[in-house]
Structure 1
Amino acid sequence: MYRITLSIVLLYLKIYSMSKGILLVNLGSPDSPDPKDVKRYLDEFLMDERVIDVPLWARNLIVRGIILNTRPKASAEAYKKIWWEEGSPLIVISERLQEKVQQKVDYPVALAMRYGSMTIKDGLQELVDKGVDEVFLIPLYPQFAMATTETILVLAEEIRKQHFPNLKISDLPAFYNKPDYIDVLSESISKHLEAKDYEHLLFSYHGVPERHIKKRDITKSHCKIDRSCCSTPSPAHEFCYKHQCVEVTRLVAEKLNLKEGTYSSSFQSRLGFDPWLQPYTDRTIERLGKEGLKKLAVVTPAFVSDCLETLEEIAMEGEEIFHEMGGKEFTTIPCLNDDENWVNLLANWINEWATTETTTV
């Protein structure tokens, strides 16, 4: 009896002594805007089966046979336009966020990228070297998608099994509709539009192929890729990127009391010839300009950190399209980046996780 009691006590002591750590994970970036580094980065990114979800032979043909022989130079030029003195904006901003969150919590906070040289394996190793055996993994994406959250979680689990079998990993689910997140996002938008005179607010989300939506429909029947299914309650919404984007727009518009007709949603960054989520951002900007709109503001709530897609594709290319169509004022609203409210929110979620984990045990 004594031995059993002692064993139970030792077990509980071991559980409660588990050391917790945090791993923030963002998309990634080339090491430099040099075409060679961009090509290496694009190869890793586009060869991911959850980004271009076709058989390996076809992916090799598309990516290594076509894209990597034509796109790296143009992409490198785009990166050069937005590259900061300190490095890639996405990396620099993510590092600032990591540092600020670390100041708010009592657990080691590491940073990793899904693609590029700041690997998830290195991030987990950094935490393990600090004695961590329980990790809270935070994909820095508000919405769930195959090519973002899912690929991070799948790779992290593969790495855990292969290199850190004793490590426990839990993750933050998609937070697109969390009231505290909507509050922070809405306040950020409101703050940046405070002194701006705009006629229309465009919510531009990163695009995904329509087939990704149907592939992740757990009901196998709900998602029709039309206007009705996103607003009809369904278990499919847990993994439906389009629904989650639609919800962000709806919730923010409600929070900011935006009038019907003064805001809309669109999707950017399509690749290839397959149908992607619509309407497309570039064509929407073009249409709004043609219709006589003079003052347009654009926010990009699929990203929490400014990157190539926000700084070049929207703030540069989007503005150029708008002006060509007769538009006058084009306002790009920054992502949350290392905003103090966003930092505090992440710290709150981390502390809630740590408390819940301990209580559950």
Structure 2
Amino acid sequence: MKNSTAEPAARGKRIGVVLLQLGGPDALESVEPFLYNLFCDPDIIDLPLAFLFRKRLARMISSRRAPHVQEFYRKIGSRSPILKLTFRQARALECELQKNINAKVLVCMRYWHPMTEAVVDELRREQINRVVLLPLYPHYSKTTTGSSVNEWKRVSAKKGLRDIGVSGVEEYCEHPLYIGALVRNIQIALARVPAQDRSKVHLVFSAHGTPMKLVRSGDPYQQQIIRSYNAVIREGKFGLAHHLCYQSKVGPQKWLEPSLTQTIEGLARERVTHVIAVPIAFVSDHSETLWEINMDMRRRAKEMGIRYFDMSPALNTNPMFVRALADVVLQKVRA
């Protein structure tokens, strides 16, 4: 990437790029307050008159779920790796952006530290002239990117942050470099399969699910997931059976289907022996990949008779993914 791709005026300004991410507990004792923050979010719990009881409901749900959730965090090191991995992504992105613009990349977590108030304060200290909000969610949903942007607006208004221009990236679900990074990681996983068995592999693309109520309200997340899935299949030319499913359901509402569990059960009934799971909506490793797919589902798949189960690597600091992030930022800066 050449420096000439950035406008001269943009190179003279100090650009703050804020990575918006979910966050995760940094210790077992952080699980319950993390869950409380999650279920206190008005973009998550949006029932009629919910403002009257949201905090009480969040307290009840988080206290009940915490012991169970702590168990699978205990299996992946007693903390989420998402903060460490997101800081690595931030450093890699900053190095890439510095080829073109004077950029400072900051990490902003929605439900655990560093949270929005701390990041807004840091922007002031860093004397940033302009901010680009960059969600580490390639697919837009009201409950992810929408929630983080709403929180940014609330905190910015509270702190009187009016002297810094802010623009935001909504989605990049079909960005060629993002798709290429996913294809490359699938190729890495396929290379681990003995050559004589590769034709037996079924690729199972697993995205985080959402309630059907959200889909019916017009949330674009599912359609963007499908667009990414189709683009990866088209670009990868794998010549293998492939499936799209959803995971991580919480609560009694009907969620997107088929679920990851339903998909693996169906493949086992069809006597499929080789599966590679592809975490399509996750850009770094955390509990949904490390525990839910790579440990729990791996164990269950084996019990169902699937002899070979693997997961393609998460994107993390995949160079193509970092370049995709840099490109969407530069597009915003030049706009």
TM tier, shorter chain? 0.7 to 0.9
Distance 1:127 1:93, change over 3 A: same
Distance in 2 between residues matched to 1:332 and 1:160, nearest whole Å: 39
Query: Cα deviation per residue 1:119-167 (whole Å; 9 max; x = unaligned)?
Result: 1222232222111031011010011111111001111111222211222
SS of residue in 2 equivalent to 1:298: strand
1:321-356 residue CA offsets vs partner (Å, 9 max, x unmatched): 1111111111011211011221222223333333x1
Matched residue type, 1:195: R
Partner SS state of residue 27, structure 2: coil
Contact 2:177 2:321 in 1 (8 A): no
Indicate if the aligned counterparts of 2:39 and 2:45 stay in contact, CA closer than 8 A: yes
Find 2:181's aligned residue among 180, 184, 203. Answer: 184
Pick one of 233, 243, 248 that aligns with 2:223. Answer: 243
- 1:288 corresponds in structure 2 to 267
Equivalent in the alignment of 2:141: 145
Q: What TM-score, normalized to structure 2?
A: 0.88
Task: Look up the match of 2:151.
Answer: 155
Structure 2 residue 21 is matched with structure 1 residue 26: yes
**2: CA distance between counterparts of 1:16 and 1:160?**
25
Distance 1:207 1:15 in 2: 38
Judged with a 3 Å threshold, the aligned counterparts in structure 2 of structure 1 residues 19 and 268 are, in CA distance, closer, same or farther, namely: same
When normalised by structure 1's length, the TM-score is 0.82
Structure 2 residue 234 is matched with structure 1 residue 254:
yes
| Structure 1 unaligned residues grouped into runs of 5+ | 1-13, 218-238
Q: Distance in 2 between the 1:160 and 1:322 partners?
A: 47
Checking the alignment, whether the CA contact within 8 Å between 1:33 and 1:83 is kept in structure 2 is no
Instruction: Specify the code of the residue in structure 1 equivalent to 2:309.
Output: F
Q: How many residues align?
A: 316
Decide which of 67, 81, 87 is 1:89's aligned counterpart. 81
Which residue is equivalent to 1:323? 302
Q: Distance in 2 between matches of 1:301 and 1:92?
A: 20
Distance, in Å, in 2 between the alignment partners of 1:283 and 1:56 is 35
> 2:245 aligns to what SS in structure 1?
strand
Pair 331,22 (structure 1): closer, same or farther in 2 beyond 3 Å:
same
Contact 2:172 / 2:328 at 8 angstroms: preserved in 1?
no
TM-superposed deviation, 1:25: 1.5
Partner in structure 1 of residue 276 of structure 2: 297
Deviation at 1:60, TM superposition (A): 4.7
Question: 8 Å contact 1:23–1:111 — kept in the other structure?
Answer: yes
By how many angstroms is 1:301 displaced? Answer: 1.2
Q: Secondary structure of 1:244's partner? A: helix
Cα deviation code 1:200-242 (max 9, x no counterpart): 0001010100111122x2xxxxxxxxxxxxxxxxxxxxx4111
**Equivalent-residue separation in structure 1 for 2:312 and 2:36 (angstroms):** 30
* More deviation, 53-62/113-122: 53-62
Report if aligned partners of 2:279, 2:289 keep a CA contact under 8 Å in 1.
yes
Sequence identity (%): 27
How has the CA–CA distance of structure 1 residues 74 and 91 changed in structure 2, closer, same or farther, with 3 Å as cutoff? Answer: same
Query: How far apart are 1:174 and its partner, in Å?
Result: 0.7
> Within 5 Å, which residues of 2 pair with 1:340-359?
340-354=319-333, 356-357=334-335
- What is the root-mean-square deviation in Å for CA atoms of aligned residues? 2.1
Q: What residue identity is the alignment partner of 2:214?
A: H
SS in structure 1 at match of 2:20: strand
Match of residue 165, structure 1, among 151, 157, 162: 162
Q: Amino acid of the residue matched to residue 79 of structure 1? A: Y
Q: What secondary structure sits across from 1:296 in the alignment?
A: strand
Partner residue in 2 for 1:109: 105
Unaligned runs of 5+ in 2: 1-8
**Is contact 2:17-2:134 (8 Å) kept?**
yes
Q: Bigger radius of gyration, 1 or 2?
A: 1
Correspondent of 1:79 among 70, 73, 83: 73
Q: Which deviates more from structure 2 when the two are superposed, residues 319-328 or residues 338-347?
A: 338-347
